[in-house]
Amino acid sequence: MKIMLAGGAGYIGTHTAIALIEAGHEVFVVDNFSNSCREAVRRVEKITGSEVRLYEADCCDYMSVRMIMSKEKPDSVVQMAGYKAVGESVAKPISYYRNNLDSTLTILEVMAECGVKSIVFSSSATVYGEDNPVPYTEDMPRGRCSNPYGWTKSMIEQILEDAAAADPSLSVVLLRYFNPVGAHESGLIGEDPQGIPNNLMPYITQVAVGRRDKLTVFGGDYDTPDGTCRRDYIHVMDLADGHARAVDYAAAHKGSAIFNLGTGIPYSVLDMVNAFSDACGHPLNYVIGDRRAGDLQDCWADAEKAGRILGWKATRGIAEMCRDSWNWQRNNPKGYADSEEDSDEEDDEE
Ligand code: UFG
């Protein structure tokens, strides 16, 4: 099949492009590079030996999306174009609602015009909100989100379910990601956040490579065995393989379906720190600090449904997650800014 990857130049998108190409699909990327770069897609081409056509366009721009979709006529869209920083979404809610909802609505309108009948959406475990008990199952109701970013995911899920209910020929798959970490085993692509990382793993790797002084562990007094929060970390290549399964599922099933993409295994922040220290061969400098506002103590998946219906299961463990994150960061201490074209970019130090 021919797949349009909206927001496909980013961390999850580039890894997903590899999984889709390896599964035999043709992929093209639409991205406005608001949090990504061309070099990442060039490296996908290097890894796969396949051409990946790249369109620089904002998915909120109806005319651009229509021009691209009517020219390419994809069989399916994977919609990952969106802002994703939790803290920033609290400071700039209107920008988050505008961008994340608008890009998806625009894609849906153009899909209807161009006769594209299948969409896979990058959702998040954050839609389970604050009240559901772990492990999360897909039949739990969407909960109260603690930030606008989470609400955009929750609202878009609702929009897509409504669209599928109204059009019996439409296929919608909602993928609820847990905590993606790791990188492609080549070390050529990986997570490259702009500025100070918000998420745990890129912060750890930047400490390990000497870009940051120390990690602050947000809270050591939770009701968990070591006092730190527990999450369901999933290797990004396992997550990427989940998209390949989801695209096949959408091609064969009308209506909407939800799948958790997690391992079902919780690890604490200190578990991750220790596993990463093993992977990089030296202790990681960290301190225990205050809790971070909005953090849940526990968040992990029941991954049974994706196994049963998609035939998908995460296969890479915590050691591989840390090894591959480290391999990427060690080979690219400044991320893609290490590459020739982007070498004049400033590194954003604390
Ligand atoms: N953490 C630290 N120090 C840091 C960064 C994170 O201790 O510098 C801790 C957090 O407190 C949390 C864990 O590491 O306990 C993971 O934090 P992340 O920020 O990496 O991830 P979150 O679980 O907070 O957020 C992730 C995604 C969001 C998604 C959310 C809910 O990044 O997109 O899961 O599912 F909304």
Q: What is the pLDDT along the chain (350 residues), one digit of tens a residue?
A: 999 999 999 999 999 999 999 999 999 999 999 999 999 999 999 999 999 999 999 999 999 999 999 999 999 999 999 999 999 999 999 999 999 999 999 999 999 999 999 999 999 999 999 999 999 999 999 999 999 999 999 999 999 999 999 999 999 999 999 999 999 999 999 999 999 999 999 999 999 999 999 999 999 999 999 999 999 999 999 999 999 999 999 999 999 999 999 999 999 999 999 999 999 999 999 999 999 999 999 999 999 999 999 999 999 999 999 999 999 999 999 999 987 554 444 444 33
Q: What is the residue with the minimal CA distance to atom 27 of ligand 1?
A: 179
Q: Which two tokens stand for residue 244?
A: 């390949």
Do 17 and 49 form a contact (C-beta atoms < 8 A)? no
How many Å lie between the centroid of ligand 1 and the Cα of residue 311? Answer: 28
Judged by DSSP in three states, 265 sits in coil
pLDDT at residue 338, rounded to an integer = 80
Torsion angle (degrees, nearest 10) of CA 7, 13, 16, 21? 70
For 308-330, b/e burial (b = at least 16 CB within 10 A) is eebebbbebebebbbbbbbbbbe
What is this structure's pTM? 0.97
Taking the CA of residue 215 as reference, the ligand 1 atom at the shortest distance is: 8
How many Å lie between the centroid of ligand 1 and the Cα of residue 320? Answer: 19
Question: Which alpha helices (DSSP H) does 175-268 contain, by range?
Answer: 200-208, 236-252
Taking the CA of residue 292 as reference, the ligand 1 atom at the shortest distance is: 11
How many Å lie between the centroid of ligand 1 and the Cα of residue 250? Answer: 30
Q: What is the residue with the minimal CA distance to atom 3 of ligand 1?
A: 217
Q: Which two tokens stand for residue 2?
A: 């021919």
How many Å lie between the centroid of ligand 1 and the Cα of residue 111? Answer: 33
Q: What is the residue with the minimal CA distance to atom 26 of ligand 1?
A: 179
The sign of the dihedral angle between the CA atoms of 188, 40, 207, 96 is: negative
Taking the CA of residue 218 as reference, the ligand 1 atom at the shortest distance is: 7
What backbone torsions phi and psi does residue 242 show, to the nearest 5 degrees?
Answer: -60, -35
Strands 230-231 and 267-268: antiparallel
How many Å lie between the centroid of ligand 1 and the Cα of residue 175? Answer: 18
Ligand 1 shell residues, CB under 6 Å: 84, 86, 124-126, 150, 179, 198-200, 203, 215-218, 229, 231, 269, 292, 295, 299
Please state, in angstroms and rounded to a whole number, the distance separating the CA atoms of residues 80 and 67.
19
For 13-43, b/e burial (b = at least 16 CB within 10 A) is bbbbbbbbbebebbbbbbbbeebbbbbbbbb
Active site residues: 149
Q: What is the residue with the minimal CA distance to atom 7 of ligand 1?
A: 217
Strands 2-6 and 230-231: unpaired
C-alpha distance from residue 226 to each of 156, 223, 280 (Å): 36, 8, 22
